[in-house]
Structure formats: structure tokens, C-alpha cells
Amino acid sequence: MTEASLPGLAHVPALRSLRAAVAGGGILAMLGAASALVVQAAGGPSVIVPAGREAFPQWMAGPLAGVAEPASFEQSGALLCVLAAGYLAALWGATALPARVAIASIVALHVVFLVGPPLYSADVFGYLGYGRVGMAPGLSPYVDGIGAVQGDPIEPYVRWNQGVSPYGPLFTLLSYAVVPLGIAGGFWAFKLLCAAASLGVVAIVWRLAAARGHDPVAAAVFVGLNPALLAFEVAGAHNDTLIALVVMGGVAAALRGRSATAAGAVTAAAAAKASAGVMLPFVLLAAERRRAALAGAALAAVLSAAVALIAFGADAMNFVATLEEQQRRVADFSVPSQVSRLLGFDGVTDAVRLACLVALVAGVGVALVLTARQRLDWVTGAGWASLAGLATSAWLLPWYVTALLPLAAIGMSGALRGATVLLTLYLVATRVPFLM
């Protein structure tokens, strides 16, 4: 017999107290593990701070520099496991948590990961590097790699300096804007922007969850305490939260009947990061005024193209070719890569790629058809399509789950939320040495 089969059982004081205690214990465990992870990462060069392998200045370490000894890969893996276990406990008891406790916990964990060094990735210095390329005379981030700026002091912190920018023109222009702050200033500007954007996404999820009949506390915990979001996205200052904030602004507009604004926002997000484009057909299907939505998308596309051409000229067209090149890359722990290994292949073969492409098209197609026939809520449909994209991509990294989290949180499918949690656990496990 389950709790769901007994009406009112969820409100029995003893059960609510148990749930609240478990959730509170999980959150305390997360705070302890997060603090230890960040303090140890700030202690000195380590494998979990790739940007600091050649040089680890105090400004990168942050205000906790030298407080503790550097973390080993094994120690960091154990702390990630505690984060994940605490998250599961917090999810189980989220409906019993007071709103103020949930909000304070989400903010506190964001602050912990904000003040530390960039964990598990050096991408933020790539953002800065491409901005610096664009500001150099005669160079373009869509033609020249970061290494094209001879003697650029950012080179020791960049892990990939030969390829051209894989980011959309609108995001690249944001990178230009922080170049005058210098390397250290630009790094912390991105950390602040990404953490603030993450909290902004949580705030939107809270409001939309309440409007759609969900428990807003549970939805906010689902997103805001997610260990992949915190330890990889926020700590690494990735741009996914910025994209997610724009997309969720579009979702909010769509749910309020502002069709043109919704489609325009999603189109603009895709001009910053192409993967956001998967949302557009679902927004169009959901639009109360289809023509207005199409007009909003077209206007945003034209304006984005105009900005790109003005800022980068014909070089902006190289962005499309770069995306194709990106699709040929392989992350060791992507699902296609793991499937290839199980099948005994040496790498992701063309046959595996084709099978994944067919699975992606089928998954997105089914989601679109069910949404069009109103058998699937459009937000849920977009969430399943996003999950299909992550599961079939050969280039899957932990912070990519950021795009999926808010859709799963406010969607109408418990199965989607469960699949998102499982994906999160898998992505965290890929950075735990004794689980690899």
C-alpha cells in the first residue's frame, strides 16, 4: 500500500515531520559536502580545476584560497556522491519543507559554489578567450582560435585554444562586453551572471509550478538543489543557465498567451546556443495566436542575423560549420559512447551515430505528434524532446542537464522527472572515479 493510495496520508503530522527531517538532513549533507568540495578545490592545483593546471592564481581560487589542502580526485568523487544522496533525500521530503527553508538552502548552495574556483571545466576561460580574439585587430572568433592572439595571458587557463567559437553570435557579443574587465574580472563576472541566472530560473520555475498546480517548493528543490546544476554548471560558470533563463522567460510568456514574445525569446536563445532551438516547435504548437508566434520568431531571427552580420560580417556563417564539427566530437561518458563500448566497437561508429540520429528524430517526432494532438502537455513534450537530445548526443557533458531541469520540474509527467533524476545521477557518476 502506498501513500498515494491513502487520501490525506501525506498530511499526517508524523509523516510530514519525517519527510521534513529527511529533507533537512539531506540539505545539511549537501551544504557540508559542497563546502568541503569548494574549500579543497581552492586549496591549490588539482584535477577538479582544469583551468588551474598550469597556473592557479589566488584570484581564480577565490576568497577561500589556501584554507585547506587540495582535493584528490577520490575525495572529490566521494563528496559528489554525498551531494547526490542529499539531493535524493531533499526531493523525497521537499513537499514537507517550509518555503523559507527551501529558498535559503537553494541560495546558500549557489553562494557556496559561486565563491569557489571553476570546477570540472575551463569553458569560462574559453568564453573570455573568444571575446579577446574578437577584440584583437583583424581577428574573428569564428575564424581564429584563442591561440591566434600571440602571448595572450589567458592561454594557460584555456584547455582548447585552436578551434573557433562554437557559441552563437548573441552569446559571443556578451563575451566581448566583459573583456574590458580583464581575465580575473571577466571570470568573476561570468560566475556572478551564471549563478544569478540559475536563481532566476528557479524563481520562474517556482511561479510557473504554482500556476500549473504543482507544489512550488518541490519544483524549486528539483531544479535549484540539483547536484549537476550546482557542482558543474554554477561552479563552472557555464552559459547554460543564461540560455535557460531566456528560454524559461519564453515559456512563461507562452503560458500567459503572449505568443509572439514567447517565440521570439526562444529564437533569440537559439541564436546564443543552437540547442535551445528544440523548444521552438513546441512553443509554436502551444501558441494561442499561431501567426503572431511565427511573426515573433521571424522577427527575432532577422534581428539576430542582422546583429551577427553587423558584428562579425560573413564570418558569422562559419558558426553553422562549427556546429557540424561539434557533432563529430565524442565525450567518453555520453550514452552513444557507452553503448559503443558495450557492443565492442572502437569508438562511436557511423552506424551508432546513425542509430542515435534515428532515435532522436523518432523521439522528437513522437513528442511533437502527441503535443499536436493534445495528448501531451507541450512543456512536457519539450522536456521529452530535450531528454532525447541529451541521450542521443555523442557530446554529452554534465552541465547540459540544465536545459532539461526546469521543463521537467513544471511538466505534467512524473516519468520525465524520474528520468531527469536518473540522468543527473549518471552524469554525476561520470566524475566519480570509483564508479567509472
Q: Give backbone dihedrals phi and psi of 14, rounded to 5 degrees, phi first.
A: -65, -40
Helix and strand counts by DSSP (H, E) for the chain: 20, 0
Place of cell 512524473: 414
For 119, other C-beta atoms within 10 Å of its C-beta total 26
Cα angle: 163, vertex 247, 368; to 5 degrees? 100
Closest CA to 121 of 238, 245, 272: 238
Quote the CA–CA distance of 171 and 276 in Å, as a whole number: 13
Tens-of-pLDDT digits for all 436 residues of the chain? Answer: 344 444 555 557 888 899 999 999 999 999 999 999 999 999 999 999 999 999 999 999 999 998 888 878 899 999 999 999 999 999 999 999 999 999 999 999 999 999 999 999 999 999 999 999 999 999 999 999 898 888 899 999 998 777 888 899 999 999 999 999 999 999 999 999 999 999 999 999 999 999 999 999 999 999 999 999 999 999 999 999 999 999 999 999 999 999 999 999 999 999 999 899 999 999 999 998 999 999 999 999 999 999 999 999 988 888 777 776 766 788 889 999 998 988 888 888 889 999 999 999 999 999 999 999 999 999 999 999 999 999 999 999 999 999 999 999 999 999 999 999 999 999 999 999 877 6
pLDDT at 187: 98
Please report the pLDDT score of residue 11 as a whole number. Answer: 57
Q: How far apart are the first and last CA of the chain?
A: 37
Q: CA–CA separation, 104 vs 108, rounded Å?
A: 6
Nearest to 61 by CA among 52, 53, 69, 74: 52
CA distance 316 to 311: 8
In contact, 97 and 219? CB cutoff 8 Å: no
Closest CA to 94 of 83, 84, 102: 102
* Residue-by-residue DSSP string for 148-217: GSTT-TTGGG-S--SSPP-S-HHHHHHHHHHGGGHHHHHHHHHHHHHHHHHHHHHHHHHHHHHHTTS-HH
What is the C-alpha separation between 241 and 402, in angstroms, rounded? Answer: 7
Output the pLDDT for position 6. Answer: 47
Nearest to 226 by CA among 428, 420, 87: 87
CA 238 to chain centre: 7
Estimate to the nearest angstrom the gap between the alpha carbon of 244 and the chain centroid. Answer: 7
Contacts of 303 by beta carbon, 8 Å cutoff, 6+ apart: none
Q: Is 28 exposed, middle or buried (0-12, 13-18, 19+ CB in 10 A)?
A: middle
What is the maximum alpha-carbon separation in the chain?
Answer: 70
Q: What is the pLDDT of residue 330?
A: 82
pLDDT at position 232: 98
Look up residue 210 and give its amino acid: A
**What span, in angstroms and rounded, lies between the C-alpha atoms of 434 and 337?**
19
Amino acid sitting at position 397: L
User: Which pLDDT value is given to residue 367?
Assistant: 97
